[in-house]
Amino acid sequence: MRIIGLTGGSGTGKGTFAALLRDKGAGWVDADAVYRTLCAQNRDMLHALDTTFGGVLDEDGALDRPKLAAIVFSDPEKLAKLNEITLPYIRAASMDAMRAQGDCPFVLYDAPTLFEVGADDLCERVIGVLADTEVRVQRIMARDGLDEAAARARVAAQPDADFYRARCQYIVENNGGLADLQRQADAIFEVLRKGDG
């Protein structure tokens, strides 16, 4: 099974690019979706989080994500502890999901923080999707209903383009329209399908 990482900041169009590759036959696992499922269903992980951070489950026993976020995102040590608890569960569940798509020519592992959490070690190659700041801001505002200041703050809080250029084997520039993105998807898919990448 060949695993290809897919990463990039908010508003770069990573999801659209993933959909184009999926249409051509690539498998796909979304690390964020895996985490959301674990937060709702994995009793062992939830117990560990509740024990560590105290009272972060709702009345149904699911994770109260806003409450946990308020605890960990203002404290780097607590955020590190959160990652220490959750990353092994996310990795194991992601691998299970990827194995289930083993008949695909390759499986995309879609993870915004792929490098930051060390998940790039699972990947044969990594694709980084980039877009100019102004393009990203407009997309985030349209998609998430944020005002411009909030959208700019989100972009500023994430790694810049140079971070991805230094680490990714493939770079997708997504400042144009869908036709341009399709052209890039076609080219990368063919290289990866042949195993030349």
Predicted structure pTM score: 0.89
DSSP state of 59: T
- Pairing verdict, β 3-7 and 27-30: unpaired
- Residue 74 pLDDT exceeds 90: no
Averaged over 91-105, what is the pLDDT?
94
Superfamily covering domain 1-26+104-197: P-loop containing nucleotide triphosphate hydrolases (3.40.50.300)
Token digits of residue 84: 């220490």
What torsion, rounded to 10 degrees, do the Cα atoms 93, 95, 100, 103 define?
Answer: 160
CA–CA gap between residue 62 and residue 43 (Å, rounded):
9
- Token pair, residue 15, equals 């999801």
Question: What percent of the chain is modeled with pLDDT above 90?
Answer: 81
Q: 18-67: per-residue pLDDT in tens?
A: 999 999 999 999 999 999 999 888 999 999 999 999 889 988 888 998 89
Residue boundaries of the structural domains of the chain:
1-26+104-197, 32-103
Contact between 131 and 174 under an 8 Å Cβ cutoff? The reply is yes
φ/ψ region of 109 (left if φ > 0, alpha if ψ in -120 to 50, else beta) reads beta
SS3 (DSSP) at 191: helix
Longest dimension (CA), the chain: 51
Per-residue pLDDT reduced to its tens digit, 150-170: 999 989 989 999 999 999 999
| Sheet of 3-7, strands arranged across | 27-30, 107-110, 3-7, 125-130, 170-173
